[in-house]
Amino acid sequence: MIFKGKTILVTGGTGSFGKIFVRRVLTGEMGTPKKVIVLSRDEAKQHDMRMAYLHKLVATDEVIYRNFMNVLEFRIGDVRSYPDVCSAIRNADIVINAAALKQVPACEYFPTQAVMTNCIGVANIVRAIEENSYPVETVIAISTDKACKPVNVMGMTKSIQERIVISANILNPKTRFICVRYGNVLASRGSVIPLFHDQIKNGGPVTITVPDMTRFLLSLNQAVDTVYAALKYGKRGETYIPNAASATILDIAKALIEKRNIKIKVTGIRPGEKMHEIMVSEEEANHCIKRGDYYVILPMLPELRYKNEKAVNALKKEFSSADNVLDFNNTVKLLKKHNLMIGKSIPQEDSELLR
């Protein structure tokens, strides 16, 4: 029970991932925590999240409600601010860094802002632990497939975040620093599926960049499961990666449109986008193993390699979203499985929060 009696800090905890992660932690499925601290800079999102717990009336949410009254703490602050980070992290046992600027075009236009959040933010976490000897047991940094062979600012800054986190193990031997890297989270805030939903509800057209473009797809709960796996089994300096499905943008659009008389408009690739994402590069495949249902990239730094680790390569080539792409019928099944077809009154992230 990895959370029993622990204080957990979630930076960016009001985002799509953070909301589901906090909800699941508070159920006690991995042990009842001592406290969950949500650090973010948006007071409105914190208020909405707080109210979402206070307004629960159904019996299945009684455990969450009781835990909320005693455990959940909201803090206004920013990972860009070293004092804010120190204040929030000083009593934490586990830190989940989910704070990020993640929209690719926005990062292209405001690269300095992406650096401040995605790089300086995580550097502040490492610095706080190092300079103040805070007894943090584990830090998990949430990364993205765009960090692998990055071609855009968002991916570049997340790639640097990974390096900052992995190298932090060298000077902080009492803290375990691990990365988690995954692809597009279905219906997360700012992703393509909510955009398609809005366009369909307004009569179209549905705009896609390039029909053959592919993306890895996983649910918010699968993202949380990946973090859980890293917490339970990860070793210092490792990067955990889910074996996620992928689909073409065109099939996703067609699946959501169903039989509606709505046109699809091709707009062309956006600034900084790739045709296909890569979860594990060809170079990383040389030190990538399989552990349970996950790929694990072993650290490149020799000081962090375990001599008794059986480094049997799990991949012979890069792990790309162009590999094993779901056909149309299986894309439909995947979207239906996660209640993402048009007609649902509650967005995915909120429906999972209320479930």
- Residue 172's region, left for phi above 0, alpha for psi from -120 to 50, else beta, is beta
Mean pLDDT score, 206-219: 93
Angle between helices 62-70 and 16-26 (to 10 degrees): 100
**Three-state SS at 61:** helix
Q: What is the largest CA-CA distance in the chain?
A: 61
228-264 pLDDT tens trace: 999 999 999 999 999 999 999 999 999 999 999 999 9
pLDDT at 187 over 80: no
Q: What pLDDT was estimated at residue 191?
A: 74
* Amino acid at site 188: S
pLDDT at 63 over 70: no
pLDDT at 131 over 70: yes
Mean pLDDT across the chain: 89
Pick the CATH number of 7-354 from 3.40.50.720, 3.90.280.10, 3.10.20.30, 3.20.10.10: 3.40.50.720
**Which of 38, 35, 30, 28 has the alpha carbon at shortest distance from 6?**
35
Q: Which residues are marked as active site? A: 146
Percent of the chain exceeding pLDDT 70 equals: 90
Q: What pLDDT was estimated at residue 91?
A: 93
pLDDT at 348 over 50: no
Please check whether residue 244 is in contact with residue 217, taking contact to mean a CB–CB distance below 8 angstroms: yes
Mean pLDDT score, 268-296: 92
Q: What pLDDT was estimated at residue 190?
A: 66
Strand order in the sheet with 138-144: 72-76, 35-40, 7-11, 94-97, 138-144, 176-182, 239-242, 294-297, 288-291
**pTM of this prediction exceeds 0.95:** no
Residue located via tokens 């956006």: 270
pLDDT at 141 over 60: yes
For the record, the structure tokens of 327 come out as 């056909």
**Three-state SS at 149:** coil
pLDDT at 345 over 70: no
Q: What pLDDT was estimated at residue 354?
A: 29
pLDDT at 74 over 80: yes
Mean pLDDT score, 329-350: 73
**Three-state SS at 87:** helix
* Amino acid at site 284: E
Q: What pLDDT was estimated at residue 309?
A: 62
**Which of 104, 99, 107 has the alpha carbon at shortest distance from 81?**
99
pLDDT at 292 over 80: yes
Beta strands 239-242; 319-320: pairing state: unpaired
For the ranges 3-12, 104-113, 308-317, which has the lowest average pLDDT?
308-317
